[in-house]
A and B are shown apart, each in its own frame.
Chain A
Amino acid sequence: DQQVKQNSPSLSVQEGRISILNCDYTNSMFDYFLWYKKYPAEGPTFLISISSIKDKNEDGRFTVFLNKSAKHLSLHIVPSQPGDSAVYFCAASAYSSASKIIFGSGTRLSIRP
C-alpha cells in the first residue's frame, strides 16, 4: 500500500521556466509534508516542508502547495536552474507515528539549457 505517490517518474523542464512536481497521499493522519532532493551517491537533502495547518510555504525559488481536501501537494521551482537537476522525493509524516517519514518513489527532474 503506497501511502505517498509520485506518479511522474521523470520531468524535463527548460532552464528559466517553472518546474512543477506533484504528489498525492492517502493517509489522512499525515500532518507534515516534506520535499527532499537527492543527487547520485548522496543521501536525501531536506528542501522545504509544510505543516497540515497551512496551504502554502515559500522559500526563495521553492514553493510548496498543500490541498488537504484533494490529498495533494506540489512543489514549484521558479526559475529552474541547471543545479536543480536531481531526484525529488515527496514525503509525509505523522506526529502520532513518531514522525517517521514515508517517502514517495521520486521524480527525476532534468533541467535542459
Chain B
Amino acid sequence: DTGVSQDPRHKITKRGQNVTFRCDPISEHNRLYWYRQTLGQGPEFLTYFQNEAQLEKSRLLSDRFSAERPKGSFSTLEIQRTEQGDSAMYLCASSLPPYNEQFFGPGTRLTVL
C-alpha cells in the first residue's frame, strides 16, 4: 500500500502525559500537512512542511505542540502535557505540486483521560 500511513491509530493517555504521533506520506510527495478533527467538525489545519522546512503553523498549535520532519520524509507530531481538550483525531496529508489535492492518512485518534 503506497498511501499515507499514520501510527498509532489509537492512543489513550492520561492528562499531563506526552504523546508522539508519526506520519509517513506518499513517498514522492514533498508537502506534508497536519490537521485536527473534533467531533462534528471538519478537519482544521495545524501546520505544514515543504520537504524538511516547517513553513506555517496555525494559531491552534499551542506551545505544547511541536512537529518535525527531519529528513523531509516522515513527520512526527508531539503534544506535551496533554489536556482533555486535546482529544481529537489527528490527520496527516501529503501532496505534490501544484498542491491542489491532498491525500489523507487514516488518522490517529487521541483520547486524553
Contact = CB atoms under 8 A, between A and B. Distances in A.
Interface of A: 4, 9, 32, 34, 36, 41-46, 49, 51, 89, 91, 93, 95, 98-106
A46 B102 contact: yes
Contacts of A4: 42
Contacts, number: 67
Contacts of B55: 98
Interface string B36-49: 00001111110010
A41 B99 contact: no
Interface stretch (B14-22, B62-70, B104-112): B104-112
B34 to A, nearest CB: 10
Contacts of A36: 104
Contacts of B100: 32, 34, 49, 51, 93, 95, 99
B42 A106 contact: yes
A104 B42 contact: yes
Contact of B56 (A34, A91, A95, A100): A100
